[in-house]
Amino acid sequence: MQIAMIGLATAGLVAAIAAWLFPERPSKFVTIGGGAVSLVLAVSLISKVSDAGHASVGTLLYLDPLSLVFLIPTCFLYLATAIFSAGYVRPLAGRAGVRYARHFYAGLNLFCWAMIAALIVNGLALVWVAIEITTVVSVLLVAIDNNDGAAEAAWKYLLIASLGLGIGLIATIFIYAAGSHALGSSYSLSFNLLLANATKFPAQVVRLAFVLAVIGYGTKVGFFPVHTWLPDAHSGVGLALRISSVCQLLCDTAILPDNRKDRRQRISPRCPAYIRLG
């Protein structure tokens, strides 16, 4: 189980490095291989996570049934996108084409790796870092076609998504502040700690963090009314991103206010990250 999780956490990164070093043709197979390995490893974890309730590797990786629900479609779309792009992406001949293929396949693998990482890391702060990585990589992928539309779409996407993730960072900090009531002034934002002590968190601060997280991460997702970058990113980019598969990672807030009779707040273990790549 631990080997499978470590494999999941590294497959995309290894594929990205290999795609950067190898020529175009081997890079296609490396990308498909990365997607296939990720999917197989994710499926292999189903029974183990279902039986044990969660899977973890030290304090760094954590997987529960809900995140597995998002992980499997993500890995499937990683594989599907890799297979589709192998036949669809036809870079020009010459050095420009070589550079295009290298950037595209390395960026695709890195993007998928970051999405998978956002789903299996153990901590809200690490989730934020992983989603920020997906933002910077996907911006470069949006701009890869080097035309006016791609440049415009990339700038709009970068600015709006970065500002949204800034709000998401504030939400993470406020969750940390809420947790410090129960866990002390210095603790890691790991999910198992948060889940175990959620009822002791102050309700008002948790609600504020939830609202900020919905707005912040919702900007990345493309929720209305902070969705304005999405149509441009989908329409203004060239062939690199006109691929039929769409990878969706939802980064929920991990906190849901639960107005039960006893008015206690409860953490819902919604750790997966939600990003749209068109």
Binding site for another protein (CB under 8 A): 123, 125-126, 128-129, 132-133, 135-136, 139-140, 143, 146, 148-149, 151-156, 158-159, 162-163, 166, 169-170, 173-174, 176-177, 180-181, 184-189, 202, 204-205, 208, 228, 231-232, 235-236
Q: Which residues of 169-196 are buried (b: 16+ CB within 10 A; e: fewer)?
A: bbbbbbbbbbbeebbeeeebbbbbbbbe
- Token readout for 62 is 């954590």
Q: Which residues of 105-132 are buried (b: 16+ CB within 10 A; e: fewer)?
A: bbbbbbbbbbbbbbbbbbbbbbbbbbbb
d(CA 181, CA 23): 54
Reduce the DSSP state of residue 38 to 3 states and report it.
helix
d(CA 39, CA 7): 11
- Least distance (Å) between residue 147 CB and another protein: 8
- Least distance (Å) between residue 9 CB and another protein: 16
- Least distance (Å) between residue 195 CB and another protein: 18
- Least distance (Å) between residue 47 CB and another protein: 33
Closest CA to 61 of 190, 189, 168: 190
Minimum CB distance to another protein smaller for 133 or for 195: 133
Minimum CB distance to another protein smaller for 86 or for 151: 151
Dihedral-angle region of residue 58 (phi above 0 means left; psi in -120 to 50 means alpha; beta otherwise):
left
Minimum CB distance to another protein smaller for 87 or for 185: 185
Minimum CB distance to another protein smaller for 80 or for 139: 139
Minimum CB distance to another protein smaller for 82 or for 131: 131
Minimum CB distance to another protein smaller for 124 or for 249: 124
- Least distance (Å) between residue 251 CB and another protein: 15
- Least distance (Å) between residue 191 CB and another protein: 14
Distance from the Cα of residue 121 to its chain's centroid: 10
- Least distance (Å) between residue 38 CB and another protein: 23
Polymer length of the chain: 278
Structural contact between residues 238 and 147, judged by C-beta atoms closer than 8 angstroms = yes
Minimum CB distance to another protein smaller for 197 or for 228: 228
Give the contacts of 166 (CB within 8 A, at least 6 positions apart). Answer: 216
